[in-house]
């Protein structure tokens, strides 16, 4: 049994829009299909592979979906999937990789010739400005959370969401969790940075997230067992 896993790489995509895309891909696929986001939130590639194997897949096809698709990701993802394969035991499924189709002439032509309904735009002074975009607000700490694909691969608890949830449960109103792209070093992920202290953390479980919030954010104390680096001048 083959299961196709579509790998979607994009930022600023709402959950509703993502789910609509997934429904279209699944409906058009011959056989079983799933889709994951490589960045930000949702299940990771390794979790999707675990799930496909648990469903009894004898063949798993990984298909990048995106126009264009990052060359860096296309080079790295097969290796990340191969690492998952190296940790499996027993009868292994065949793991297959399909190159991105973003440069396929048929795909490009489909985009260029897709029906569209143009609408006129009128002049709008200050149109690029938004409400509430003038100052940072009453924030004591910013928690920068890497949601890039390499950290998200190891992001068992959906890190940004869990930190936000724990901070809210602790009654913190002066902490802002900010999703970022790659922060480097990727091998030390999942990465979170507490600013302005300049303390870097590796948070790999819900228990570690809870300890980070209770210790670093609520009490303002250090968590040496979770810290990886310190940069800048700690406050």
Q: What is the pLDDT, as a whole number, of residue 233?
A: 65
At residue 74, does pLDDT exceed 90?
A: yes
Q: What is the pTM of this model?
A: 0.86
Q: What is the pLDDT, as a whole number, of residue 234?
A: 54
Check if the beta carbon of residue 14 is closer than 8 Å to that of residue 73. Answer: no
Residues of the chain above pLDDT 90, percent: 77
The stretch 184-188 carries a mean pLDDT of 88
At residue 132, does pLDDT exceed 90?
A: no
Q: What is the pLDDT of residues 56-71, one digit of tens each?
A: 999 999 999 988 999 9
Give CA–CA dist 135/217, Å, rounded: 22
> Residue 73 — pLDDT band, cuts 50, 70, 90?
very high
Buried b or exposed e, range 7-19, using 16+ CB within 10 angstroms:
bbbbeeeeeeebe
Domains defined along the chain, listed by start: 2-111 (3.40.50.1400), 141-230 (3.40.30.10)
The stretch 37-60 carries a mean pLDDT of 94
Residues of the chain above pLDDT 70, percent: 98
Q: What is the pLDDT, as a whole number, of residue 40?
A: 83
């Amino acid at each position: 049994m083959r299961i196709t896993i579509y790998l979607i790489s994009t930022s600023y995509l709402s959950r509703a829009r993502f789910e609509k895309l997934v429904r279209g891909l699944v409906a058009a696929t011959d056989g079983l299909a799933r889709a994951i986001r490589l960045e930000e939130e949702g299940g990771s590639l390794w979790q999707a592979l675990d799930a496909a194997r648990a469903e009894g897949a004898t063949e798993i096809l990984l298909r990048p979906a995106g126009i264009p698709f990052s060359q860096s990701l296309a080079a790295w993802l097969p290796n990340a999937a191969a690492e998952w394969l190296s940790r499996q035991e027993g009868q292994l499924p065949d793991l297959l990789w399909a190159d991105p189709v973003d440069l396929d002439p048929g795909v490009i032509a489909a985009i260029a010739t897709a029906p569209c309904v143009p609408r006129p735009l009128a002049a709008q002074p200050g149109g690029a400005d938004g409400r509430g975009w003038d100052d940072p607000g009453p924030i004591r700490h910013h928690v920068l959370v890497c949601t890039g694909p390499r950290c998200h691969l190891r992001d068992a608890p959906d890190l940004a969401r869990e930190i936000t949830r724990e901070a809210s449960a602790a009654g913190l109103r002066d902490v802002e969790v900010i999703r970022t792209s790659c922060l480097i070093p990727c091998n030390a992920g999942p990465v979170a940075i507490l600013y302005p202290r300049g303390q870097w953390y590796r948070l790999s479980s819900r228990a570690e997230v809870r300890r980070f919030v209770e210790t670093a954010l609520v009490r303002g104390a250090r968590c040496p067992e979770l810290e990886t680096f310190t940069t800048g001048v700690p406050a």
